[in-house]
Amino acid sequence: MNNQKKVYFIDNAIIGKVGFNATDNIGQLLENLVFIEIKRQGKDIYYHNDGIECDFIMRENGHIVSACQVTRSMKDEKTRQRKINGLISALNTYNLTEGIILTDDETEEITIGNKTIHIIPIWRWLLK
């Protein structure tokens, strides 16, 4: 109840017309695209924030089933650590063993303890 609400648009084109930023924010567009797809799949969507944020927590049939981060790129070390740490925090909180980080075009697999992080391009995730 103390966390700020995240706002998403039902269509990315709306962001360009009524957007609040003076510059293009590809990361925001990618995150919004992922939100739209998760809603299309009929999953309940939450976000995790215990001081470290994870963009999406998905619930089906009353159970947390997955956690996901979205970023344009993992090349910047600060972004990389923030996204990994946020995802690991969510995986630990919800007793999940795997999570995903969706990027513009990067692929990688990271194992930290008993947790596996799949870094995949959003376009590939959308095709599943």
Q: How confident is the model at residue 99 (pLDDT cuts 50, 70, 90)?
A: very high
Residue written as token pair 């969510």:
90
**What letter would DSSP give residue 29?**
H
Domain assignment present for 2: no
Domain count, the chain: 1
Helix (H, G, I), strand (E, B) or coil at 90: helix
Dihedral of CA 24/28/34/40: which sign?
Answer: negative
Domain assignment present for 6: no
Token digits of residue 49: 């924030």
Domain assignment present for 19: yes
Residue 18 has pLDDT above 80, yes or no: no
Domain assignment present for 4: no
User: Which residues make Cβ contacts (< 8 Å) with residue 125, sequence separation at least 6?
Assistant: 34, 37, 100, 102
For residue 15, how far is the Cα from the chain centroid?
Answer: 18
- Please, what is the average pLDDT of the chain? 87
Domain assignment present for 87: yes
Q: How confident is the model at residue 126 (pLDDT cuts 50, 70, 90)?
A: very high
| Kind of pairing between the strands at 53-60 and 63-70 | antiparallel
**What letter would DSSP give residue 62?**
T
Which range marks the domain in which residue 62 is found?
A: 12-126
Residue 73 has pLDDT above 50, yes or no: yes
Task: Provide the phi-psi class of 61: left if phi over 0, else alpha when psi is between -120 and 50, else beta.
Answer: left
Domain assignment present for 74: yes
Task: Tell me what pLDDT residue 10 has.
Answer: 61
